[in-house]
Amino acid sequence: MAENTSHLGFETRAIHAGQQPDPRTGSVIVPIYQTSTYAQDGVGGTREGDYEYSRTANPTRTVCEQALASLENGKHGVAFASGMAASDAVLRTALRPGDHLVLGNDAYGGTFRLIDKVLTEWGVSYTVADLANADDVRAAIRPETKLVWCESPTNPLLGVAPIAALADLAHTAGARLVVDNTFATPYLQQPLSLGADYVVHSTTKYLGGHSDVVGGAVITDSDEAQEQLFFLRNSAGAVPGPFDSWLTVRGMKTLAVRMERHCDNAEQIAQALTEHPGVGRVYYPGLPDHAGHDVAAKQMRRFGGMVSFTVNGGEQRALEVAARTQLFVLAESLGGIESLIEHPGRMTHASVSGSALHVPEDLLRLSVGIESAADLIADLHDALG
Ligand SMILES: *Cc1c(COP(=O)(O)O)cnc(C)c1O
């Protein structure tokens, strides 16, 4: 089932898009084509499938890309060796030296570092804005603005940006909108349908879903953007290997059921935390008093599996709590079936310290897994004391 799958439901596409039994053996699951090169019929003449060399293309990766494109309701998927390689490819194909981009005021630390430390060296400038505030975005846009870079929900403060309105603002200014959809996943939110030009993923997170692979992807409807991304990836070489592509394909098959459970558990945990005396503020878009709740309810199917909260008693207390959980593993990353806890200020977001991006020092971030919600809540209660 390679071509048009758009009439099928998400759950069906997650299992079948881009995939059919292997024509040679009948293998139901796509083989791991662990090869660097492909026999040619004659000089310059490839056999069926057009494969020549695995930096350029590999059949296992092709399946991964078709599945990614189908889940985002997009035309093209381009897989990369990591989420940062995917982000880098968008930045270096959509921008030229002298261009400017607008970046949200809460962003993945690695994205901020790439823009702030690498892209600026390359002659690109940026302005940080509150993407939930149209006036702030308009004020940040300049004649040379070519890109607006959005995460929604954001990492780690779970802020919500109105994607359709942002797309309009960007397009009016002659810029394109990128949405890093890692936190929401295509199951909960499909930015291309809301007007975004590029969707970026760290497939390391929910799409892979089992904390066993690092990868990234860009999905776009634009043939031109796809060609540029493909050219850069083939030139620079940040490709995922066949086994990593295969793990990602396998992970995506269960995305819908995993996300439902992540959301169920996160909703219960967010509620339990709001009732705990040791907790200050709880950041979860599913809570009715969250500033982005209404926008999230409109553009997302549910509210996701990430919950952040501040601990009463300051940074030291927060660090103690993070070190005391038993089921929540103290670790960076997110989106796997197991629950993780981390301190963004000292861990994932250490690179934003002192910048325009602000992360409270008493903040903890949870990646809520698919274990029993009661066990997870008991673990947090024990750790909070
Ligand atoms: C992890 C992450 C990235 C970077 O992805 P890698 O696969 O670690 O390179 C980018 N954006 C968000 C929102 C992330 O959580």
pLDDT at 351: 72
Mean pLDDT throughout 177-194? Answer: 98
Task: Choose the residue to mutate in 106, 108, 152, 367 for probing ligand 1, maximizing ligand atoms within 8 Å of C-beta.
Answer: 108
Q: Which pair of tokens denotes residue 65?
A: 């890309």
Look at residue 3 and tell me whether its pLDDT is greater than 70: no
pLDDT at 1: 45
Q: Where in the chain is the domain with CATH 3.90.1150.10?
A: 256-384
Strand duo 176-180 + 198-202: pairing:
parallel
Render pLDDT for 117-129 as a digit per residue (tens, 0 to 9).
Answer: 999 999 999 999 9
**How far is Cα 373 from Cα 223, in angstroms, rounded to an integer?**
44
Strand duo 306-311 + 363-367: pairing:
antiparallel
Render pLDDT for 237-264 as a digit per residue (tens, 0 to 9).
Answer: 999 999 999 999 999 999 999 999 999 9
Of ligand 1's listed atoms, the one at least distance from the Cα of 214 is 7
Mean pLDDT throughout 85-99? Answer: 98
> Do residues 372 and 360 lie in contact, with contact meaning Cβ atoms separated by under 8 Å?
no
Confidence of residue 48 (pLDDT cuts 50, 70, 90): low
Query: What does the DSSP assignment read for 301-342?
Result: SS--SEEEEEETTHHHHHHHHHHH-SSSEE-S---SSS-EEE
Element containing residue 215 per DSSP (H, E): none
Look at residue 141 and tell me whether its pLDDT is greater than 90: yes
Integer-rounded Cα Rg, in Å, for the chain is: 21
| Interval between CA 142 and ligand 1 midpoint (Å) | 27
Look at residue 77 and tell me whether its pLDDT is greater than 70: yes
Look at residue 291 and tell me whether its pLDDT is greater than 50: yes
- If one looks up domain 10-252 in CATH, what number appears? 3.40.640.10
Mean pLDDT throughout 345-367? Answer: 84
Asked whether 90 lines ligand 1 (CB < 6 A), one says: no
Mean pLDDT throughout 320-347? Answer: 96
Contacts of 87 (CB under 8 A, 6+ apart): 110, 111, 114, 180, 200, 216
Q: Where in the chain is the domain with CATH 3.40.640.10?
A: 10-252
Percent of the chain at pLDDT > 90 equals 89
Task: Judge: domain 256-384, CATH 3.40.50.300.
Answer: no
Of ligand 1's listed atoms, the one at least distance from the Cα of 85 is 9
